[in-house]
Amino acid sequence: MKQVDIVGLGEIVIDWVTEIPHFPKPDEKINALSENYFPGGVTANYLVATARLGGRSGFIGAVGYDSYGDYLVEDFVKENVDITCIKKIVDKKTPVNFIFLAQGEKTIIQSPHMQTTKIEIEDLSEDYISNSKLLHTTVIHQEVTEKAIEIAKQNDVRISIDLESQIAVRGWSNLKNVLMNADILLPNKEGAKFITNCSKPEKAAQNLVNKGIPIVIITLGHNGVLITTKEFQKAIPSYEVKNVIDTTGAGDTFNGAFSLAYWIKGWDLEKSCKYANAAAALKIQKLGARPGMPNEIELIDFLKKNEESYF
């Protein structure tokens, strides 16, 4: 079996993306400015971000038995994300999400198939996880995630969790057993708010660290990120982007670049966050979750221009 350093367990979807002049009201018919589709899914995007930057990464999860599923798997092959542990499930559909972009804002409508097109506990490969260095997950399918985390824990594999708001609404008592295993939690502002009931990121992060999560990094969109550990709390600003085209996948790109820098290259938290903020700044200048994700040369080039004495 192929060995990878970073294993992603979670969702993979097709994103249909349309740019529109404004969000339509009921009964209104409008002309779109563009119509596009891209490979997407939070965890799948994350893995592509790591692989573009040279990471050895692989996906655990499922697609449907359809042409969308084939397309997603083929795209992983092109991106150098290992597909050993992807399952194509007969009688299930590959999820399609609909993303509407209007005047710098976005609305996302998620497919119901995200919940049902999934692997089961018996599909998990213990070797694939135990031979890796980092298990990253969005906890979308909780039972299978709990088992994967158990395997990771037993084999000294670090655990990284991206907590989106739609998962965080399950509440602390339902998620506690998962989240308390995290070596790092990477929520965005909304995820941090929903899991703690604190709308202030500083307080929310402190709350999570006090509960026992060693590192919490909250992403704050154009405000960058907030690092919190038992020892310190520090904000790292984002890079100024004049022409933001599409923020879909910004967090996934941040998380991917961060994981590679911190867990694989072994850089410190602050340097890793700058690297990851820069990757996300490049991402948001292109339409679609993945087209703007940089390779290492593009990212280093950006950092040389925007950071004094980074390397």
Ligand X SMILES: Nc1ncnc2c1ncn2[C@@H]1O[C@H](COP(=O)(O)OP(=O)(O)O)[C@@H](O)[C@H]1O
- Which entry of Mg ion, ligand X, none binds 50, CB below 5 to 8 A by partner kind? none
x/- binding map, residues 224-243, to ligand X, per CB under 6 A? xx------------xx-x--
Strand ranges for 42-191 from DSSP E: 57-64, 81-82, 86-89, 96-102, 105-109, 134-137, 158-161, 184-185
The answer to whether residue 249 forms part of the interface with Mg ion (CB under 5 A) is no
The answer to whether residue 221 forms part of the interface with ligand X (CB under 6 A) is yes
Q: Using CB under 6 A, pick the residue from 219, 228, 259, 272 that binds ligand X.
A: 219
Q: For 95, phi and psi rounded to 5 degrees?
A: -65, 145
The answer to whether residue 40 forms part of the interface with Mg ion (CB under 5 A) is no
- Which entry of ligand X, Mg ion, none binds 277, CB below 5 to 8 A by partner kind? ligand X
CB half-sphere exposure, 215, CA atoms < 13 A: 20
Closer Cβ to ligand X, 79 or 246, answer by number = 246
The answer to whether residue 41 forms part of the interface with Mg ion (CB under 5 A) is no
x/- binding map, residues 167-206, to ligand X, per CB under 6 A? ---------------------x------------------
CB 164 to Mg ion: min, Å = 6
Six-digit token pair at 35? 């119509």
CB 41 to Mg ion: min, Å = 11
Within the chain, how many helices (H) and strands (E) appear?
12, 14
Q: Using CB under 6 A, pick the residue from 168, 226, 260, 280 that binds ligand X.
A: 280
CB 23 to ligand X: min, Å = 19
| 3-state class (DSSP) for residue 255 | helix
Six-digit token pair at 103? 């005047």
Six-digit token pair at 208? 């999570």
CB 189 to Mg ion: min, Å = 10
> Is residue 184 within 8 Å of residue 217, measured between CB atoms?
yes
The answer to whether residue 207 forms part of the interface with ligand X (CB under 6 A) is no
Between the alpha carbon of residue 244 and those of residues 103, 292, 294, 296, the distances in Å are 10, 11, 16, 21
The answer to whether residue 251 forms part of the interface with Mg ion (CB under 5 A) is yes
How many other CB atoms are there within 10 angstroms of residue 2's CB atom? Answer: 11
Six-digit token pair at 56? 């050895």
Residue the block writes with tokens 């697609």: 63
Residue the block writes with tokens 């795209």: 75
Residue the block writes with tokens 């589709």: 37
- Which entry of ligand X, Mg ion, none binds 281, CB below 5 to 8 A by partner kind? ligand X
**Piece in contact with Mg ion (CB under 5 A), picked from 136-144, 166-174, 188-196, 272-280:** 188-196
Give the binding site for ligand X (CB under 6 A).
Answer: 188, 219-222, 224-225, 238-239, 241, 244, 247, 250-251, 254, 277, 280-281, 284
